[in-house]
């Protein structure tokens, strides 16, 4: 009987050990050892918080670009990843443009059909080639830095393309709103347009000299389009 009891205990211990080993393997990497939490690569959400894969929330297409920049379909290349060899500056040539590498300006108004239309222009001020893709973030603020009006909305019909900028080249996104004198919207006059490049967190500030903008009431929405090659002029 003693030998039988010892055999049963050994069998029970063996079953327990097998169960623990199975649990460890299921929680690990398949090699029988527990793996540490994996950190996924990627970039910050684009301005506006759109979590879509390309940072635009819209369909992806290709563009032939222009004399000042080129556009291409890079859906298979995640934003922020390498598309060419290293430039030797510590930042991969062909990866997205960072805020510190860009200069922001606002082009002249091109009004039409009761709309005010301004190009937000980002120029590559760095010494390497980089890309922009999707929508900018934008906000009107007063002299004390207080935002005037709600966040702009994104034009849902816009199609995102990856715009490649060599040093000195530019891309533009449209900023448009209804003329307040026609729409009757309440207005305020900002001192600054704060612009956040796609997939970046740090903004750029541009002096706003185009007068009052709608901040509430009928037809007060300010709308943004995705970036295209060129300056919008």
pLDDT band at 64 (very low <50, low <70, confident <90, very high): very low
Question: How far is Cα 42 from Cα 54, in angstroms, rounded to an integer?
Answer: 11
Q: What is the pTM of this model?
A: 0.64
Tell me the two tokens of residue 136: 């900018």
Strand partners, 195: 138, 204
Cβ proximity of 37 and 136 under 8 Å: no
What does the pLDDT read at residue 199?
Answer: 94
For the segment 147-176, the average pLDDT, to the nearest whole number, is: 93
What does the pLDDT read at residue 159?
Answer: 84
pLDDT band at 181 (very low <50, low <70, confident <90, very high): confident
Q: What is the dihedral of CA 146, 222, 121, 119, to 10 degrees?
A: -140
Q: Please name which of 68, 74, 40 lies closest in space to residue 198, comparing C-alpha atoms.
A: 74
Question: How far is Cα 191 from Cα 106, in angstroms, rounded to an integer?
Answer: 13
The b-or-e profile of 17-27 (16+ CB within 10 A means b, else e) is: eeeeeeeeeee
- Tens-place pLDDT, residues 129-160: 999 999 999 999 999 999 999 999 999 887 89
* Cβ within 8 Å of residue 206, ≥6 positions away: 104, 105, 106, 120, 192, 193, 194, 195
For the segment 189-215, the average pLDDT, to the nearest whole number, is: 96
What does the pLDDT read at residue 6?
Answer: 53
For the segment 64-80, the average pLDDT, to the nearest whole number, is: 37
What does the pLDDT read at residue 217?
Answer: 81
Tell me the two tokens of residue 124: 């590559």
What does the pLDDT read at residue 133?
Answer: 96
């Amino acid at each position: 009987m003693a030998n039988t009891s010892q055999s049963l205990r050994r069998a029970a211990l063996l079953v327990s050990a097998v169960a623990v080993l199975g649990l460890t393997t299921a929680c690990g990497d398949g090699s029988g050892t527990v793996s540490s939490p994996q950190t996924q690569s990627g970039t910050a959400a684009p301005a506006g918080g759109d979590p879509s894969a390309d940072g635009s929330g819209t369909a992806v297409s290709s563009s032939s670009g222009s004399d000042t920049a080129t556009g291409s379909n890079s859906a298979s290349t995640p934003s922020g990843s390498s598309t060419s060899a290293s430039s030797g500056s510590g930042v991969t040539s062909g990866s997205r443009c960072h805020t510190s590498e860009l200069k922001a300006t606002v082009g002249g108004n091109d009004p039409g059909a009761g709309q005010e239309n301004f190009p937000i222009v980002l120029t590559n001020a760095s010494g390497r080639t980089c890309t922009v893709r999707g929508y900018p973030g934008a906000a009107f603020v007063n002299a004390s830095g207080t935002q005037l009006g709600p966040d702009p909305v994104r034009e849902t019909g816009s199609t995102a393309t990856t715009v490649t900028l060599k040093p000195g080249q530019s891309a533009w996104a449209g900023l448009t709103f209804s003329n307040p004198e026609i729409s009757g919207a309440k207005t305020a006059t900002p001192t600054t347009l704060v612009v956040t490049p796609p997939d970046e967190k740090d903004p750029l500030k541009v002096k706003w000299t185009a007068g009052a903008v709608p901040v509430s009431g009928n037809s007060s929405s300010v709308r943004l389009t995705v970036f295209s090659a060129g300056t919008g002029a």
